[in-house]
Amino acid sequence: MKTSTQQPTIGIVGQGAVGLLAASQLALRHLPCHLLTRDPALSVLVLNFRQQQQEHSLLLNCHKPQQPVQLLLVPVKAFSVGQALQQWLPSCAADADIVLCHNGMGTLELAQSKLQSGQKLWFASTTHGALKSGPHRLQHTGVGRTVLGPINALACQSSPPAALLAAALGPLEVVTDILPVLWQKLAINAVINPLTALLMVKNGELTKPQYRRQIELLIHEFCLVAQTKGQTFDPQTLCQTVLDVAANTAGNFSSMQQDRALMRPDELEFITGFLLNAAAEAGIAIPAHQQLYQQLRAVKPA
């Protein structure tokens, strides 16, 4: 259902870094949305949003929407997707656009099983960087881009919610097949995240020659698994892509490093774990990823 001004009701799950980035950029473009938070008593979030050396004081709306949500953005950790959909899909219109946005893979079947038959499922893969340094402070740490693609059959036949996604997390590219994008992001996260989390270093450390052999091995194994799912990558090019991301985000800690440093749950099961499951299904051994997984789980058991 649309409001009188024809602006669809937008809901953003949570008040995490990516969700607040999306809400802030919408607010700066005078496109209001509802933050769907865990705290039912919270009506407004006061946010200091820092972007490109500019500080913005924003008031973000946390009221439960009166109208069914037409566009639901779900920028939560992969392990929260099932519960987030369970909680917030009842607030959505029967023909709503639902947009997942997370690192890792392995949530798509679960998400599809929770949707009503008229709801469209999309995935937005973003390279933006956002850091929440306190409950009221968000910094846009890296200007990136977002690729949006359909997941379920209905989304494949529908127009994408491109204008709103572009306002929230643009520049936006819309693709008809998002899987190659998700697999490439998986490769980046399957190398940078576990290594930085194990070594407790910033991403840039991995550009040093001493890590080159291990990264090449991880990428080689990744390519074998991806191939079994119909995703073909050139190992050398992919290795260079991973090193470029590490160099471009040299001063940042990866999300997995931050999660482990702060003793929060991490996305290892949806990154390395997903890869290990796919390898097992295909009967392929990927010892370099297996070892990383075991080392990380030994440091903090699942």
Ligand X SMILES: NC(=O)C1=CN([C@@H]2O[C@H](COP(=O)(O)OP(=O)(O)OC[C@H]3O[C@@H](n4cnc5c(N)ncnc54)[C@H](OP(=O)(O)O)[C@@H]3O)[C@@H](O)[C@H]2O)C=CC1
Binding site for ligand X (CB under 6 A): 13-19, 36-38, 75-78, 80, 83-84, 87, 101-103, 126, 128-130, 132, 255, 267
Size of the site for ligand KPL (CB under 6 A): 11
> Cα–Cα distance between 245 and 107 in angstroms, integer?
24
- The least CB distance from residue 268 to ligand X, in Å, is 11
* Cβ-contact 91, 82 below 8 angstroms: no
Residue 98: beta bridge partners? Answer: 72, 121
CB of 10 or CB of 74, closer to ligand KPL? 74
Please report how close the Cβ of residue 72 comes to ligand KPL at its closest, in angstroms: 22
Nearest CA among 78, 80, 79, 89 for reference residue 114:
89
Q: How far apart are the first and last CA of the chain?
A: 42
64 given a catalytic annotation: no
249 binds ligand KPL (CB under 6 A): yes
Burial of residue 230 (number of CB atoms within 10 Å: 0-12, 13-18, 19+): exposed
Please pick, among 2, 114, 132, 185, the residue that the annotation labels catalytic: 185
Name the minimum Å distance from CB 144 to ligand KPL. 9
252 binds ligand KPL (CB under 6 A): yes
Q: Pattern of binders to ligand KPL over 170-199, x per CB under 6 A?
A: ------------------xx--xx------
Smallest distance, ligand KPL to C-beta of residue 58, A: 25
Binding status of residue 292 toward ligand KPL by CB under 6 A: no
Apex 193 CA angle, 189 and 197, nearest 5 = 170
The residue whose Cβ lies closest to ligand X is 16
Reduced to 3 states (helix: H, G, I; strand: E, B; else coil), residue 247 is: helix
Could you tell which of ligand X, ligand KPL, none binds residue 191, using a CB distance below 5 to 8 A set by kind? none
CA–CA gap between residue 278 and residue 284 (Å, rounded) = 9
